[in-house]
């Protein structure tokens, strides 16, 4: 089985548009018979959809990790893959190219149908089939552009998957090259198991109906403003059946211009939430009383990063490496972190954040020279007419407007660049990044697909081109392959450091800051410290009311 990638990287945008227009329905599975009040969780992290074959965004995976099972999941605390829907999983060869899992025999979907190895095989193959369809339609001139299928699923994570075979209760994954990170992929969003009798092979679901086998059942989608989750009493896996139902409320920027962060803060202040797990406005978070016993604040490690990405195509304004290097030298991360984000983030000088093997400071080491006169002369020597004009797009995020304005001021201060910043709604922004690739530059967040540094190399610098920059490097790809072949992830650090030295030199993506994750809760809610981690799993089942 070959992996096909849609033109223009992964077309998340179409999924966004489909969700916006087609999420009216829901399905009723079961009632809250024990009478326990739902724990209400507020968040600004809104999912594109709830079909794991069609969504490749951290917000969707956070919710879906409660609704679907994968053969593996991540062990809380260690964040290493452990069996969930599988009895066991392991590589069966020394080359790390054959991965075999035995499926549990006591599993069923929320619709009552038993899970089979064929369902697992189908779940992987449909992701690749949708990516292949998108690739074929992208090259078919007989199909109008607006009618072409654009795949938004996690096909980039399955780049090494050659074939899936079944042997009794066993599922055998054959890889086209050594890949020590494949168990992490299986444990994540790409490995979620769907019912082959309910899901179309070549179309993602766009509503809120879910046939999964995770700890929760989605009872009501409420047109995407909130979702009601009830414990799945049939769940069998690595975790316990949840004790409490959960209502997740999603906050978006509204038509009056109120940001998602502002609306979340208002709902929290009005006592409408038990847990505030969204992105609080930086100035508000900076003034929060961390010692308030009635509203404890939990800080957990965050692998999320904020970056400035470029369209590196040769005919684009920032297709020039010298221009990108100059921007890297002019960017003042400390000012952004302190004056815009009020110390709620940490300046970042590598695409691999603190806490991951291979973290370093190549964007600090290589760009200490920031004398405007020197930088200006380099631009002139490279043939650029100054100021070089380009457009900078941005969308949602805490302090997003002030952040974009500060980046604009920093880059324009010495007359080397002329920057036009434009804010887009998320549903418009994503197609511009991935499908149309319209923007010269864009500020965007990146969350790890799994808790291994490869998610910051394979995901955004390798052939998957997860941020649609168009950047490609044979040398980087060789180093990525070497890191994939190393079963001892600590020993792969040399490769990761080398990759990011090259990434800093080419500068297709410039790191800005690393996030800190703060969750505020009512004093009668426990389990908040287990809710978030670097794996991307959102452990709503750990929440309890006392």
With respect to residue 432, please indicate whether it lies within any of the assigned structural domains.
yes
Give the CATH number for residue 403. 3.10.105.10
With respect to residue 293, please indicate whether it lies within any of the assigned structural domains.
no
Same domain assignment for residues 245 and 314: no
Q: CA–CA separation, 537 vs 515, rounded Å?
A: 17
Give the CATH number for residue 213. 3.40.190.10
Residue 243 DSSP class: S
> So what's the pLDDT on residue 34?
62
Dig out the tokens for 279 from the structure.
């992105």
With respect to residue 465, please indicate whether it lies within any of the assigned structural domains.
yes
With respect to residue 483, please indicate whether it lies within any of the assigned structural domains.
yes
List the domain range (segments joined by +) for residue 145.
12-250+517-545
With respect to residue 331, please indicate whether it lies within any of the assigned structural domains.
yes
State residue 104 phi and psi, 5-degree precision: -60, 155
Same domain assignment for residues 318 and 407: yes
Q: CA–CA separation, 521 vs 251, rounded Å?
A: 17
Q: CA–CA separation, 523 vs 273, rounded Å?
A: 12
With respect to residue 291, please indicate whether it lies within any of the assigned structural domains.
no
Residue 156 DSSP class: G
For 216-258, write each residue's pLDDT tens digit.
999 999 988 999 999 999 999 999 999 999 999 999 888 787 8
- With residue 272 as reference, give the H or E element that holds it: none
Q: CA–CA separation, 40 vs 523, rounded Å?
A: 14
With respect to residue 176, please indicate whether it lies within any of the assigned structural domains.
yes
Same domain assignment for residues 318 and 408: yes
For 383-437, write each residue's pLDDT tens digit.
999 999 999 999 988 889 999 999 999 999 999 999 999 999 888 898 899 878 9
Same domain assignment for residues 470 and 524: no
Q: Does the pLDDT value for residue 19 go beyond 60?
A: no
Q: Does the pLDDT value for residue 10 go beyond 60?
A: no
With respect to residue 257, please indicate whether it lies within any of the assigned structural domains.
no
Residues with Cβ within 8 Å of 385's Cβ and at least 6 positions away in sequence, in order, are none
Same domain assignment for residues 493 and 535: no
Q: What is the mean pLDDT of the chain?
A: 90
Q: Is the peptide bond before 387 cis (omega within 30 degrees of 0)?
A: yes
Same domain assignment for residues 56 and 109: yes
Same domain assignment for residues 404 and 536: no
Q: Total domain count for the chain?
A: 2
Same domain assignment for residues 505 and 541: no
Same domain assignment for residues 336 and 429: yes
Mean pLDDT of 198-205: 96
Dig out the tokens for 420 from the structure.
């036009």
Q: Does the pLDDT value for residue 152 go beyond 90?
A: no
Q: Apex CA 60: angle with CA 59 and CA 65, to 5°?
A: 105
Same domain assignment for residues 204 and 324: no
Q: Does the pLDDT value for residue 213 go beyond 60?
A: yes
Q: 342: alpha, beta or left, given left = phi > 0 and alpha = psi -120 to 50?
A: left
Q: What percent of the chain has pLDDT over 90?
A: 73
Same domain assignment for residues 510 and 523: no
For 499-534, write each residue's pLDDT tens digit.
999 999 999 999 999 998 899 999 999 999 999 988
For 442-465, write each residue's pLDDT tens digit.
999 998 888 899 989 887 898 878
Same domain assignment for residues 503 and 522: no
Cα torsion angle, 142, 148, 149, 151, sign: positive
């Amino acid at each position: 089985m070959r992996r096909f990638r849609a033109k223009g990287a992964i077309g998340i945008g179409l999924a966004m548009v489909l969700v916006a227009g087609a999420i009216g329905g829901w399905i009723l599975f079961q009632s809250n018979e024990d009478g326990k009040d739902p724990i209400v969780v507020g968040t600004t992290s809104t999912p594109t959809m709830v079909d794991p074959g069609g969504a490749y965004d951290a917000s969707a995976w956070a919710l879906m990790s409660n609704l679907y099972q994968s053969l593996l999941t991540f062990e809380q605390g260690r964040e290493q893959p452990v069996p969930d829907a599988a009895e066991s999983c392991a590589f069966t060869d020394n080359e790390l190219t054959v991965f075999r899992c035995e499926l549990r025999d006591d599993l069923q979907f929320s619709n009552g149908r038993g899970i089979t190895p064929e369902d697992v095989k189908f779940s992987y193959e449909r992701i690749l089939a949708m990516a292949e369809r998108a690739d074929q339609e992208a090259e078919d001139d007989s199909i109008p552009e607006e009618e072409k299928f654009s795949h938004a699923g996690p096909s980039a994570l399955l780049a090494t998957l050659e074939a899936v075979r079944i042997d009794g209760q066993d599922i055998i994954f054959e890889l086209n090259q050594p890949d020590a990170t494949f168990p992490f992929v299986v444990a994540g969003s790409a490995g979620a198991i769907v019912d082959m009798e309910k899901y179309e092979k070549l179309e993602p679901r766009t509503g809120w109906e879910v046939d999964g086998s995770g700890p929760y059942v989605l009872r009501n989608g409420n047109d995407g403003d909130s979702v009601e989750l009830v414990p799945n009493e049939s769940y069998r896996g690595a975790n316990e059946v949840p004790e409490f139902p959960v209502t997740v409320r999603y906050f978006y920027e509204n038509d009056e211009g109120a940001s998602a962060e502002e609306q979340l803060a208002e709902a929290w202040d009005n006592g409408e939430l038990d847990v505030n797990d969204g992105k609080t406005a930086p100035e508000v978070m900076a003034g929060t009383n961390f010692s308030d016993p009635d509203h404890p604040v939990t800080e957990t490690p965050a692998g999320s990063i904020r970056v400035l990405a470029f369209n590196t195509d040769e005919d684009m304004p920032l297709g020039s490496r010298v221009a990108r290097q100059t921007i890297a030298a002019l960017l003042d991360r400390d000012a952004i972190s302190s004056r815009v984000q009020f110390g709620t983030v940490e300046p970042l000088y590598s695409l691999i954040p603190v806490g991951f093997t291979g973290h370093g400071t190549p964007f600090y080491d290589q760009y200490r020279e920031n004398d405007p006169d020197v930088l200006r002369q380099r631009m002139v020597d490279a043939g650029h007419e100054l100021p070089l004009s380009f457009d900078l797009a941005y969308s949602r995020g805490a302090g997003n407007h002030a952040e974009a304005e500060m980046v604009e001021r920093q880059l324009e201060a010495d007359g080397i660049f002329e920057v036009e910043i434009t804010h887009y709604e998320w549903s418009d922004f994503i197609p511009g990044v991935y499908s149309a690739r319209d923007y010269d530059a864009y500020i965007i967040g990146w969350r790890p697909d799994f808790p291994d540094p490869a998610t910051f190399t394979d995901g955004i610098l390798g052939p998957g081109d997860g941020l649609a920059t168009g950047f490609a490097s044979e040398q980087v790809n060789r180093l990525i392959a070497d890191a994939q072949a190393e079963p001892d992830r600590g020993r792969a650090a040399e490769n990761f450091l080398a990759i990011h030295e090259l990434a800093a030199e080419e500068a297709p993506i410039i790191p800005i800051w690393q996030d800190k994750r703060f969750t505020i809760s009512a004093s009668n809610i426990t389990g908040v410290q287990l809710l978030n981690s670097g794996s991307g799993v959102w452990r709503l089942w750990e929440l309890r009311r006392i």
